Amino acid sequence: MDTRREILQAGRLSRRASRPADRSTLDLHGLPGRASLTALAALAALAACTLLNPAFGDSQGLTESASAGPTGTLTGEDSATATLTDPTGSTTSGSDATSGSDTAPDSDTTAAPTTSTTGETDSSSSSTTGEPADCWGLAADEGWEVTPIEDNKLGISPKSTRLSPDGYTLYYIAGEPQKPHVSTRANLADPFAEGAPIPGWSAAPGFTLDHITVDAGETEMIYTGTLDLLVSIKSGEQWLPHSKLAGVNTPASDRSSSLNEDGSRIIFERLGDDINPVLGPVWRFFEAKRPSDAPPGAGFVGVMPVVLPGVTDNPDYAHPVLCAALSPDGLRLLYGSSYPDKLDADELDDAQYVLMSERQDLDSAWGPPSRLESLQTPTWQSCPESISRDGCQMTFLQFKYPLDPNEPDPLRAFIARRSAAP
């Protein structure tokens, strides 16, 4: 179904569902029972970090709005092997990995951000070798400068905007019908111009995809289909028909994956058993592994829940989490959550923030989260999508929920930059 039609339907449903006087039965956004899940599902298809999400949102159709931007400165499962056959009849088999545990001010209108009118600037300092300096020495919420990504720079209804590790390439989904696209730029200060469909990829009419991840050699593409994680590999100049990514899909809903740079770790969302008193069942992150030298299309093994201290391990309150964005080194995880706040069904218009957790190595536990408040805008929900290898650039999105009849475009995308500490 067309996302914008889903949004309008969700808005009508929201208005109808908000009429009952008995608020004891209301969950997220004042919507009762299944009506809530239906409306939230429409938003899930809306907010590019989730697809058909019954809790908070997702994206199909990022459009730069006249509304202001963020308030920050703007200057264990069974092992599996994936086997894919190319048109010549040869096969590419994924080898099994060793299994193991892995563990703002109140306002009725959106306040305008501080914005530069001189154009985009390179936020990454350069070393004497010309390479960007590392920004990971900065605090999680330090130094971000935010610029909207305008729709007309990327094509028709762009979504799922994800940076390559070096920050020079943007992979995203756009067009009618939807296709994976790619855009490159010569300088990190430049905006991304309208890209082009990735050559050689095709799908059945009406197929909807989201949350695209493309490896450095552009030989493997992983994305969300209809609540399953799918993979397509490249053979010659053509991308083979996708199949389910081995080792991670279950009868439950699995989606919205993010991989580290060498493809050895994947974090994705699965609708779990944890119940939030406002949202009902909430999504949880899971992590799996495969060898770093696994061939394109190889499956993953050792699926384990991602434990985020205080966020997903609180026996007294199930905080929602969405939009996992794993850093290229796999040591930082950006995600959307209301943590540490408990949700209030009457005050949900900017409940979801971007958070970041870190770990010492790929097998260490995740540390406590930091909230990136400078990326937040009053009355908008926020979700991360990707971050560069040096930690100096990231993409994220914001979406409207509850729906605002006065907001012409309830979804918008941004790129944030910062410079390394001297």
Residue 403 one-letter amino acid = L
The whole-number pLDDT of residue 402 equals: 81
Q: What are phi and psi of 290, to 5 degrees?
A: -155, 165
Q: What are phi and psi of 334, to 5 degrees?
A: -95, 145
Give CA torsion, residues 45, 47, 51, 57, to 10 deg. Answer: -90
The whole-number pLDDT of residue 41 equals: 35
Give CA torsion, residues 371, 375, 378, 382, to 10 deg. Answer: -80
* Of 117 and 395, the one with more pLDDT: 395
- Domains of the chain by start residue, with CATH: 70-150+195-417 (2.120.10)
CA atoms of 94 and 359, how far apart (whole Å): 28
Q: What are phi and psi of 82, to 5 degrees?
A: -90, 130
302 and 99 Cβ atoms separated by less than 8 Å: yes
The whole-number pLDDT of residue 420 equals: 85
Cis omega (within 30 of 0) on the bond before 408? no
Q: By mean pLDDT, which of 11-20, 22-31, 105-114, 245-254 is the weakest?
A: 22-31
The whole-number pLDDT of residue 70 equals: 61
Average pLDDT of the segment spanning 390-409: 89
Q: By mean pLDDT, which of 58-62, 270-274, 373-377, 391-395 is the weakest?
A: 58-62
**Long-range contacts at 124-132 (CB < 8 A, ≥ 24 apart):** 124/167, 124/188, 124/390, 124/392, 124/393, 124/417, 124/418, 124/419, 124/420, 125/419, 125/420, 125/422, 132/167, 132/188, 132/390, 132/392, 132/420
Which residues, 6 or more positions from 231, have their beta carbon under 8 angstroms from its beta carbon?
A: 82, 84, 220, 221, 222, 242, 243, 244, 245, 297
CA distances 269 to 13, 254, 279, 307, Å, are 26, 6, 16, 13
Residue 173 one-letter amino acid = I
Reply yes or no on whether the pLDDT at 247 is more than 80. Answer: yes
Average pLDDT of the segment spanning 329-354: 95
The whole-number pLDDT of residue 421 equals: 67
305 and 312 Cβ atoms separated by less than 8 Å: yes
CA distances 343 to 30, 192, 276, 281, 346, Å, are 12, 36, 9, 14, 9
49 and 95 Cβ atoms separated by less than 8 Å: no
CA distances 55 to 29, 236, 343, 383, Å, are 10, 40, 12, 13
CA atoms of 290 and 310, how far apart (whole Å): 28
Q: By mean pLDDT, which of 346-350, 388-392, 407-411 is the weakest?
A: 407-411
- Nearest to 345, CA basis, from 15, 32, 16: 32
CA atoms of 324 and 356, how far apart (whole Å): 10
Could you report the per-residue pLDDT of 24-61, keeping only the tens digit for each?
222 222 222 323 333 343 344 344 443 333 445 443 33
pTM of the predicted model as reported, rounded to 2 decimal places: 0.75
Residue 94 one-letter amino acid = G
Instruction: Say which residue the tokens 């996708």 belong to.
Output: 242
Strands of the sheet containing 179-184, edge to edge, are 159-163, 169-174, 179-184, 196-197
303 and 285 Cβ atoms separated by less than 8 Å: no
Tell me the percentage of the chain whose pLDDT exceeds 90.
56
The whole-number pLDDT of residue 83 equals: 35
Average pLDDT of the segment spanning 306-314: 97
Q: What is the mean pLDDT of the chain?
A: 76
Could you report the per-residue pLDDT of 73-109, keeping only the tens digit for each?
333 333 333 333 333 333 333 333 333 333 333 333 3
Average pLDDT of the segment spanning 172-180: 91
